[in-house]
Structure 1
Amino acid sequence: MLERLKLIPILLLLAAASVSCEKDSVAQAPVVTIESPLTQRIADSAGVIAQVFNDTLFEVTPGIMETDIHYLSTEGYSMHVFILEIDTKHPGLKLKAGTPYNASAYAMQTVPDMAKYLENGNTKVMAAVNADFFNTSTGEPRGIFVKDGKVIKTTWANTRSATFMGIMKNGEIVIGDRAEFAEKQNDLQEALGGGPMLVRDNQILTQTDLTVEPRTGIGMNAQGKMYFIVVDGRSFYYSNGITITKLGQMLKACGSTIAINVDGGGSSTFMIKHPLADVWQVRNRPSDGTNRAVGNAWMILAN
């Protein structure tokens, strides 16, 4: 009994030492250095990031910067988001509607395959994201469709098909709603539909869709900066997805004064021409496990 009592102070000392070591270990945890200004903006103001695990920033080509963020959401889930910041006023960059086989007919094709039909000797496809929702049997877009100055489709499938992005014949990029499309359609060179408006006049709009999914969004501001964003989802340990409200918060934090949601889920595709190799690389992890054939996409071209 006496020997057991003598052991108690020793065990308490060992326990105290163990706790002290744990505290020292916590205190010495590495501090994450944030690389991208966009990461910092989102962490500071969007209300979606609890902790940044790591981020990267690199130039795809002059005028296009990519930010990748691995973070813990405010709900406590692992997340990955990919963002392109595009200076649309940079000489030699151009926005183009990508379609299957670069044709006006309805069909489906993966985003990298669309790029093959669009690229030529004088122009390279440097980046792209998927665009409008579409009929998965025929490839017909849910929203409007204008290609090479020809208005092909002016109808909308449902209330979710509420917005569009387009390039005017004078080169101006426009994001708007159904009424604005009706007003501008004959002056558009390219246009593809979109889903709900997320940000307008620098204000985040209220959304009724509260589902958590992989998401793709597009935003821009008056200074000519455009943001393509893909948030991966449907993978618990990798990335869980996001609501469209939080997607809007992220786009506003990046600098968008107007932003729309486009097709998500397994369609969400974030592609670049990799700066270290002359290949197209899908940077995100589409939730289907492979690149989905989609109805159309937005491509950034460089001369």
Structure 2
Amino acid sequence: MILNKKFMIRIAKMAAPAVLLLQLVAFGCKKDSTHPREIVPKAELTQRILDSTGLIANLFSDTSFVVVPGVEETDLHFQNEAGYSTHVYLLKVDLNHEGIRLQAGTPYGSKPFALQTVPVMAQYLDSAGNRVVAGLNADFFSTVGEPRGIAIKDGKILKTTWANARSASFVGVKDDGAVFIGNREDFDNMKDEFRDALGAGQILVWNNAVQVQTDVSIEPRTAVGINENGIMVFAVVDGRSFYYSNGISITDLGILLKACGSTTVVNLDGGGSSTFMIKHPLAPVWQVRNRPSDGNNRAVGNSWMIIADQP
């Protein structure tokens, strides 16, 4: 078959853009092994997580700043090993720093069983010499605000029972300000030693060993850890938002906080309850730093407040 020369030239011109597009796609998909992505962490806790875990595949950003002396916030945004976007908020609290302490927050200051957001609870505790500089949600709770675990507030025992197997631990503050995290047996033996104590969930790290959990779901989470030197680290991981942050499993949450130096870690309430609040160092406001998955601040049963002895 003989084709007209002009017709052949016209076909070639029509095909050229498609060929160019295929060349560009092929070029763009070619792996550039000479320029791998360089992860350069700025924060101490970020470096710890990178050094001892495989949780971070690509680090997009990390920032760290002092809320008040003795209290430091670190924010991370990374792609995890499964390829999902993850936002983590960490609060490092040095209980050895003069004037820094932990205090339980309950609705309306003293009402044991009710519901209130963490920022509003802070208003009832904040006063001269007892300034709330940060706050996070604490124990699981019922629809009317009754905590699932134990509760002691200002030396008054409010609840000594546990709702279910998930309520396996607690966080307690002794009269001298020392913080202790333990299990049910510890509470039974020590309950008279605490000024404040609130229940918690599964034990994620015990005696510096990660406890593998049967719950493998990926959700927004809150947890807290401590080590023998009195350094606490709270963590909130946002979730349920594909492009922003997907969440984390509770086993990986334990791995993360162990990397931050915690030798004992317990799970706190998560999901829409996860709240990470600070008294912003640049403005006189309590600011919720994370993005609760409900789209607003959920009213919760109780909270942990970080207090500074400030005017």
TM-score, length-normalised on structure 1? 0.92
Deviation at 1:150, TM superposition (A): 1.1
Deviation at 1:43, TM superposition (A): 2.0
The answer on 1:53 being equivalent to 2:60 is: yes
**Which structure 1 residue ranges, 5 or more long, are not aligned?**
none
Match of 1:63 in 2: 70
Superposed CA deviations along residues 85-142 of structure 1, whole A, max 9, x for unmatched, are 1111100101000111111431110000000010012221111110000012x10000
Deviation at 1:172, TM superposition (A): 1.7
Change (3 A) 1:16 1:142: closer
The answer on 1:75 being equivalent to 2:109 is: no
Deviation at 1:37, TM superposition (A): 1.4
Match of 2:46 among 39, 45, 49: 39
Match of 2:289 in 1: 283
In the alignment, the residues of structure 1 paired with residue 21 and residue 121 of structure 2 have an alpha-carbon distance, to the nearest angstrom, of: 65
Match of 1:199 in 2: 205
In the alignment, the residues of structure 2 paired with residue 238 and residue 192 of structure 1 have an alpha-carbon distance, to the nearest angstrom, of: 31
Match of 2:155 in 1: 149
Question: Could you say which structure has the larger radius of gyration?
Answer: 2
User: 1:102·1:117 contact (CA, 8 Å) conserved in 2?
Assistant: yes
In the alignment, the residues of structure 2 paired with residue 211 and residue 16 of structure 1 have an alpha-carbon distance, to the nearest angstrom, of: 42
Letter in 2 for 1:230: V
Match of 1:274 in 2: 280
Deviation at 1:17, TM superposition (A): 8.4
Match of 1:298 in 2: 304
Letter in 2 for 1:297: S
**Which structure 2 residue ranges, 5 or more long, are not aligned?**
none
User: 1:233·1:287 contact (CA, 8 Å) conserved in 2?
Assistant: yes
Letter in 2 for 1:61: V
SS of equivalent residue, structure 1 residue 101: coil
Counterparts of residues 31-180 of structure 1 (less than 5 Å): 31-136=38-143, 138-180=144-186
Superposed CA deviations along residues 156-209 of structure 1, whole A, max 9, x for unmatched, are 000100100001123221000000000000111000000000001100012111
Structure 1 residue ranges (4+ consecutive) displaced by more than 3 angstroms after TM superposition: 1-9, 11-32
Match of 1:213 among 219, 223, 227: 219
Change (3 A) 1:160 1:26: same
Match of 1:186 among 192, 203, 210: 192
Superposed CA deviations along residues 6-51 of structure 1, whole A, max 9, x for unmatched, are 9999x98997788668869886687443111111211222222111
TM-score, length-normalised on structure 2? 0.90
In the alignment, the residues of structure 1 paired with residue 225 and residue 38 of structure 2 have an alpha-carbon distance, to the nearest angstrom, of: 31
Q: How many residues align?
A: 302
SS of equivalent residue, structure 2 residue 108: helix
64-73 or 15-24, larger mean C-alpha shift: 15-24
Percent sequence identity over aligned pairs: 54
Deviation at 1:211, TM superposition (A): 1.3
